[in-house]
Amino acid sequence: MRVYVGNVNKGDLVATAAFQKILENLSGNKNVQNLLESFQKLSDEIKKKESELKGRFDQEKEDKIELAWKKYQEIVKVLSTSEAKLEKEVNSTISKIKKSADDLEKNIQAYKKKAIVQKTKLEKSLFKKQTTKKASSKKAAAKPAATTKKKATVKKAAVKKTTKKVSKKK
């Protein structure tokens, strides 16, 4: 082992030579050699343990990533299934509402037709009553004047009601 440092003077070279002799004597000593071998074995064991731990940590990391991926896939599957069910339910509800609205519209049309028929019948019956009242008022002309005035008033009221209903219809 040589160390070069800037300007070296003779005193430093002598110290370096002495230091190298001490190292040679120490390296020749069996206890020092045993100590160095032990350090080498410890160093090798530490490197071996380090690689084992690193491998284990990497494997655990991979296992956790794989587990997380599987859970993610399960969640996506559940969400997809839920989404499909929800969409099916919404479509079903929408179709029921549309059918109900169509039925309601048909019922309204049917009731409207019935109301028009009923209205026509009432108008006809009122018209018949008016014509019978006219005929009876002609017969009543032979009766005293007081009775004729009452019938004429009733007749005017019936005509006003009919006129109001006809104007509302328009």
**Interval 136-170: pLDDT, tens:** 766 655 555 555 555 556 556 665 555 555 555 54
Q: Answer yes or no: is 4 within a domain.
A: no
pLDDT score at 3: 47
2 part of a folded domain:
no
pLDDT digits (tens, 9 = 90+) for 8-35: 555 566 678 777 888 777 777 788 788 8
- Tell me, yes or no, whether 108 lies in a domain: yes
Q: Please give the tally of structural domains in the chain.
A: 1
85 inside domain? yes
Q: Is residue 75 part of a domain?
A: yes
Instruction: Give the range of the structural domain holding residue 20, as residue numbers without chain letter.
Output: 10-169
Q: What is the pTM of this model?
A: 0.38
Let me know: does 129 contact 158? Beta carbons within 8 Å: yes
- If one compares 69 and 161, the residue with the highest pLDDT of the two is 69
